[in-house]
Chains A and B, each alone.
Chain A
C-alpha cells in the first residue's frame, strides 16, 4: 500500500512538473526570441544579442502604450481601492438588507464573461455620448477589479474585533481620527495587497479594454495590433520587461501576504 502511494506520488509530481513546464513554455519562448533570431522555424544560435533592449528606447509607439497602461493601472488602483474600501466598510458595519444587493452588483462584472462587461459599458458610453478614451478604460478596469479589492479588504475587516473601533470611540476619537489612527494601520497591508493586485490585473486586461479603448492604446492592445504583422524583437523585449515587472509584483504580493499572516493578531 505504501508502495502504491509512492507510485502515485511520483506520478503526480511528474504531472505537476509537466504542467508547470506547459504554463511557462510560451513565456520562456518569448524571452528566448528576444535574444535569438530564428528564420523559418530554425534558430540561429550565434545570433545572441541584447540589442532589442537598447533599441527599445527608440520605439515610441511601444513606450507610449506602456506609459498609457501604467497611467490606467495607477488610476484604476486609486479608484478601486477607495471605492472598494468604502463598500467593504459599509458592508461590514451596515445592518441594512441592501448590502447583500450591493455585494451582488459588485460581483457581477467579475463573474460575467468579460465580453459582456465590455460591451455593456461600450453601449452605455455611446448612449450618454461619452467619447472613448483612456478614462473610459479606467472605468471598465475599476468595476472589473472592484470585486477582488472589495473581497480582500472585507476579509481583513472581518478579522478585526468590533471592540477595536468601539474603544477608539470610547476614548473620544472622532470618526475621522478613529479611521486614520486605528482602522487604517490595521488594514494597511490589505489595502496594499488589493492595490497591487488591481494594478497587475489592469496592466494585462485585454478583453474589456478592446471595447473601451479610443485612439490611445494600452500595451496589450498594442500587442494585439502588432500581432497581425508579426512581432519584432523589440516587442519581444518589451514583453520580457513587463513579464519581469509582473512577476516581481506577484512575488511582492505573496511576500506581503505571508508576512502579514505570520504577524500576531491583536
Chain B
C-alpha cells in the first residue's frame, strides 16, 4: 500500500514538473508562433489564420535586406571573436602557467557586469570626442577625429565583440586545457613541426569548444536589439531592433512575431547543423 502511494506521489510530481515546463516554455513558444499568422486591426489582434505577415516580409525588400545584413553582421562579430578569442585561450592554456585561472577569471568577470553600462560606455570610447580619438590625436596619428567608429555598423560590431568575447574564450580554453602536454611533446618527438602539431593535434581537439562558443556569439549577436539601439544610430539598425520596435511603438505584435519566427527558424537550423557537424567530427 505504502509503495503504491509512493509511486503515485512521485509520478504526480513528475507530471506537475512536466506541465510546468510545457506551460512556461513550450506553450509560450507555440503561442508566439501562432501569433505570426494573426493580423492586427488598430489595437486589436485578429485571431484568424493568415499569411499576410510573411507576404509582407517577402514583398517589402527592406526586411530581407536587413535580415541578410544582420546575418552578415553576426558572422563578422563571430569571426572577430574567434580571431581574438582563440589566441587568448591558447595562450592561457599553454603559456600562462599558474596564472591561467586568474586570467581566465579576469576575462569572465566582465561577462556578468552590467550589459547596458558596457554599451553606454562604448559610446564615450568610440565617439567623436571619445577615448580612441583622443589617444590617436595625442599620439599625432590623426588631425581630425575619426567618425567611422560611432553611429554605424562598425560601432555595433566593435561593441558586440567587446561584450561577447568571453563567451568564446571560456569553452575554447576548457577544451584546450584538457590536452595533455605529453601528446604535443610526443608529436614533436615524432618530427612534427610546431605548425603541424597545431594543425593536426591541438586544433582538432579544441574545435568542439570553439564551435560551442562561436554559436553562442553568433546567436546572441543575431538577436541583439539593445546594442544597435544604443550605438547603431540610423544606419546601424538590425533585424532584432525591427522586431523589438513592432512590440513597442509600432504595436504590431503579429508582424513582430512573424519576423521573430523567421529568426527562430534560422537559429534552430544553425543549432541543428552545428550539432550534426560536431557529432560527425567526433566519429
Flag if A12 contacts B90 (CB, 8 Å).
Answer: yes
B102 CB, nearest partner CB in chain A, Å: 10
Interface of A, secondary structure class, is helix
Kindly report which residue of chain B lies nearest to residue A127, judged by CB atoms. B31
Q: Determine whether B223 belongs to the interface, using a CB cutoff of 8 Å to chain A.
A: yes
Collect the chain A residues with CB atoms within 8 Å of residue B225's CB. 115, 207
Collect the chain A residues with CB atoms within 8 Å of residue B257's CB. 119, 123
B28 CB, nearest partner CB in chain A, Å: 4
Q: Determine whether B162 belongs to the interface, using a CB cutoff of 8 Å to chain A.
A: yes
Flag if B219 contacts A23 (CB, 8 Å).
Answer: no
Kindly report which residue of chain A lies nearest to residue B225, judged by CB atoms. A115
- A 17-62 contacts with B by CB, 8 A: 19-20, 22-27, 29-30, 40-41
Given A22-B162, A115-B263, A15–B120 Cβ distance below 8 Å? no
Collect the chain B residues with CB atoms within 8 Å of residue A160's CB. none
With A and B bound together, what is the CA distance between A143 and B253 in angstroms? Answer: 22
Contact flags A145-180 to B (C-beta < 8 A → 1, else 0): 000000000000000000000000000000100000
Kindly report which residue of chain A lies nearest to residue B240, judged by CB atoms. A115
Interface residues on chain A, size class: 35 or more
A44 CB, nearest partner CB in chain B, Å: 15
Question: How many residues from B make CB contacts under 8 Å with A?
Answer: 74
Q: 10 extra interchain contacts, Cβ-Cβ under 8 A, other than A29-B131, A112-B219, A210-B226?
A: A12-B90, A15-B91, A19-B84, A27-B110, A83-B20, A98-B18, A108-B29, A116-B32, A116-B260, A139-B24
Interface residues of A (CB under 8 A from B): 1, 4-5, 9, 12-13, 15-16, 19-20, 22-27, 29-30, 40-41, 83, 86-87, 90, 94, 98, 102, 105-106, 108-109, 111-116, 119-124, 126-127, 139, 142-143, 175, 200-201, 204, 206-207, 210-211, 220, 223-224, 227, 231, 239, 242-243, 246-247, 249-251, 254, 258
> Top 6 closest A-B pairs, CB basis?
A113-B223, A41-B129, A26-B121, A120-B32, A124-B28, A12-B91
